Amino acid sequence: MKDFCIMGSGMVGATLALGLVSQGHSVVLIERDMPALFSPEQPPDLRVSALSVASVDLLKALGAWDHIQHTRLRAYSQLSVWETETSRTDFTAELLGLPELGYFVENRLLQLGCLKELESKDNFELITSKKAKSINVNDSQRAIIRFEDEQEVEARWLIGADGARSQVRQSAKIGTSGWQYEQHALGVIAKMHNVQTTTTWQQFTPDGPRAYLPMYDDFAALIWYDSAEMVKSLSAMNPSMLKQKIIDAFPDCLASFDVVSSAAFPLTRSHASQYVKGNVVLIGDAAHTINPLAGQGVNLGFKDIEALLAITAESDVSAHQVFRTKLQNNYERPRRRDNLVMMSAMDGFYTLFSNDILPLKLARQSLLSLAQHLPMGKKHILKYALGLNEWKL
């Protein structure tokens, strides 16, 4: 019987598996749909994450970053947000004495980096291309996952890292609260005609933000938030029509480009009522999804990982009751609280900026202008957003 079974080998699941295995725990990782292997000639993926320096530090400590940085990524050292040029705030790495604020990395390449590092581990098993037929968590001492070919996996603890529609969460009968936002988002991969910078920016408009994320080489990700109707219309356009719409809607600082690919996705908020139930633990999107306004989704998942690994590093995972109590006190409670704070903050920004109500418009412009001239305030915001704290394996 394994110590841990992790359902889902996405960015969070694969990173957690690597952390647990590095601590000496036996782990089986289950992933039905494995990512395509990396090849330099592949076009960039639409799914891109902004990794904070704290998340990168974790990946470095686990040995995965060496693999990731040999694929493709882009460091960024400045984040600028504005509504008008007179209401603007610039967050820079220099403000905190850092070489960069973080990196933009394709989700698949981060996942592959963790899986590559796991290949050298002895106490690790990967099960792929199989669909879980049933998940039995009625026995508080073990979880049993049965596949369609009747193969079974037993583990003391089952970790749901299988995304927003988590099969593990449903099997454990853990409820969620949340909603879908009125806005949707269109993600666009663009090939820029000018040299890329290390600045990422976001302009707020009454219809929703417009964001620019520099990627490797001459590529960039453009994010267009708008009504569901508008995003649906944009996603149906051919590249030349969509390019013109972007030119019309985005700020003038966007350099010349060509559209490579695009895809629309809804914006949702969801929060599990429990992160720990019986011998089931939820992590990442299985536990919480957040408005991607500030790119905090994957970084919240990595903070979950840090909290879990701090507990598993010094615990006997076979002592179920004692270990469960530690999980509830030192993982579930603080992470639910912190994730809820970040969710509420993003909803506050969403409400404040995604409208054309005059009092709110004046308030947000004053807020951005004031923040630009308060370096200590910007430092505190940056430290919180980047999750700056010491990480030790």
Q: Is the pLDDT of residue 369 over 70?
A: no
In this prediction, residue 251 carries a pLDDT of 93
Q: Which domain-ending residue is among 267, 299, 328? A: 267
**383 pLDDT above the threshold of 80:** no
What pLDDT is stored for residue 349 in this prediction?
67
Give me the domain span that covers residue 69. Answer: 2-75+101-178+269-355
DSSP-based three-state secondary structure for 133: strand
The answer, yes or no, to whether residue 389 has pLDDT greater than 80, is no
Q: Which of the four pLDDT bands, split at 50, 70 and 90, describes residue 384?
A: low
Final residue belonging to a domain, choices 267, 295, 330 = 267
Note the pLDDT tens digit of each residue in 40-51.
999 999 999 999
What's the average model confidence in pLDDT over 4-26?
97
pLDDT at position 256 over 50? yes
CATH at residue 231: 3.30.9.10
- Is 373's pLDDT higher than 50? yes
Judge if 26 and 117 occupy the same domain. yes
On the question of pLDDT at 292 being above 60, the answer is yes
Q: Is the per-residue pLDDT at 390 higher than 50?
A: no
**Does residue 351 sit in the same domain as residue 273?**
yes
Say if residue 192 is in the same domain as residue 156: no
Span 57-86, pLDDT tens digits? 999 999 999 999 999 999 999 999 888 777
- Structure confidence by residue, pLDDT tens digits, 264-280: 999 889 999 999 999 99
What is d(CA 97, CA 93) in angstroms, rounded to the nearest whole number? Answer: 6
Residues contacting 132, CB < 8 A, separation 6+? 7, 30, 32, 145, 146, 147, 167
Is there a domain that residue 86 lies in? Answer: no
Which residues 6+ apart lie within 8 Å of 169 measured at CB?
A: 160, 176, 272, 280, 282, 286, 287
State whether 188 and 238 are in the same domain: yes
- Same structural domain, 294 and 207: no
Last residue within a domain, chosen from 267, 295, 322:
267
Residue 167 domain-assigned (yes or no) = yes
**What average pLDDT does this structure show over 236-253?**
96
Region 311-332: what's the mean pLDDT? 96
The pLDDT confidence band at residue 354, using thresholds 50, 70 and 90, is: low
Claim to verify: residue 296 and residue 316 sit in the same structural domain: yes
For the chain, percent of residues with pLDDT exceeding 90: 69
Tell me whether residue 205 is exposed, middle or buried, using C-beta atoms within 10 angstroms of its C-beta: 0 to 12, 13 to 18, 19 or more: middle
0.85 exceeded by pTM: yes
- 161 and 172: one domain? yes
> What are the tokens at 350?
């969403």
Total domain count, the chain: 2
Question: Which one, of 241, 138, 246, 227, lies nearest residue 185 by Cα?
Answer: 227
> pLDDT tens across 104-152, in order?
999 999 999 999 999 999 999 999 988 888 999 887 789 999 998 889 9
